Amino acid sequence: MKREDLRKCRRIVVKVGTSSITHPSGEVNLRKMELLVRELSDLHGGGGEPILISSGAVGAGVGKLGCPLPSNLPEKQALAAIGQGILMHMYEKFFSEYSKNVAQILLTRDCFSDPERYLNSRNTIFSLLSFGVIPVINENDTVAVEELRFGDNDTLSAMVACNVEADLLIILSDIDGLYDSDPRQNAAARLISEVSEITEEMIGNSKSRGSGMSSGGMFTKLTAARMTMPNGIPLVIASSDEPDAIRRIVDGENVGTLFLPSREEGYASRRRWISAGSTAKGAAFVDEGAADALLHGGKSLLPSGVKKIEGRFAPGDVIAVKNSLAVEIARGISNYGCEDAAKIMGRRTSEIEKILGRRDYEELIHRNNMAILL
């Protein structure tokens, strides 16, 4: 991969640290936030699908109350509850000036460890993007414990990027990128433009924390890169003070440090895992019309095309899709468990709510969560 290849990126996750959108006092830095929103709005206007991961809730709460940053968890969580509302109010205000709609999503780590919650969060973000809405994501600091500790949103941004099959992850903070040594201690430290492999030496040189009220540092950013690189997603670490950083990165300019993916395509790597790296917990047998729609029409699998359900599986499990000859033609992540799938098979989408008492999804397997095998 080369820098100019970033011009092809469409679905872009952008993470901003606390220091990138707040003053040292914790109050929101209106100038920095407005510049960030303008770049993301312009990216969206050009056909991109930006997803914003924003830190700063605790800092904004500190700024609102004018109190020092506490060390105990309950007070941090209280400040996060105060500050999160302030952040979203400002994002709503600035994005609306560019006629952009935003939506708040608060996540915790179990949203990624629990298959059903992982699938729900993934499908929610996909739906927002299809509506033309820009998701603004943060950890649910008010109720989480681990998430307030060192390295929270750098890790979160990588998890989200993998979850939504992003084309690119950009982490903006108070540092220019990865150096061969700590530039705060070594004036001769050299910025590394590209990284194809994260070495133990890099890890050893990255133990320092971030500045001010931020919870991370280079170590957590390298941890994020270790997640995105094997999943085919390039990551760029750059300074939020760099003029037009997002635009220049997407234009392929040499800004910050680019962590090269070890696989070429994030979408392909995801579907490669579904097709070859996953174990099917069950199967859905489909009629000829559904099989043709999947193989040649690029469609999702609807309950109406399913003739038989086999095996025991839960929402979020991978299942096989087989044709009338019992040949596996596709494999994907099921939106419904086996019992519900059996109840709605062969029925129209409009009948799902009447049968189950709810309609969580229209599809048994969404196209985004499916790998075609023929």
Q: Helix, strand or coil for residue 239?
A: strand
Comparison of pLDDT for 199 and 330, the residue scoring more: 330
Residue 277: what pLDDT?
A: 59
- Residue 141, classed as helix, strand or coil, is coil
Exposed e or buried b per residue across 125-142, where buried means at least 16 C-beta atoms within 10 angstroms of its C-beta: bbebbeeebbbbbbbbbb
- Cα–Cα distance measured from residue 366 to residue 166, given in angstroms and rounded to the nearest whole number: 17
Question: In terms of Cα–Cα distance, which of 15, 30, 27 is closest to 58?
Answer: 27
Residues 255, 235: contact at Cβ < 8 Å?
no
Percent of the chain scoring above 90 in pLDDT: 53
For residue 138, list its beta bridge partners: 106
Which stretch, 2-16, 71-85, 105-119, 203-217, has highest mean pLDDT?
2-16
pLDDT the model gives residue 108: 80
Label residue 214 by pLDDT band (50, 70, 90).
very low
Question: Nearest to residue 214, comparing CAs of 33, 12, 49, 55?
Answer: 55
pLDDT over 80 at 115, yes or no:
no
pLDDT score of 149? 44
User: In the chain, what are the domains?
Assistant: 3-267 (3.40.1160.10), 278-372 (2.30.130.10)
- For 284-316, the pLDDT digits (tens) are 999 999 999 999 999 999 999 999 999 999 998
pLDDT surpasses 80 at 200:
no
Q: What is the mean pLDDT of residues 159-178?
A: 91
Global pTM value: 0.76
Over the Cα atoms of the chain, what is R_g? 22
In the chain, % of residues over pLDDT 70: 90
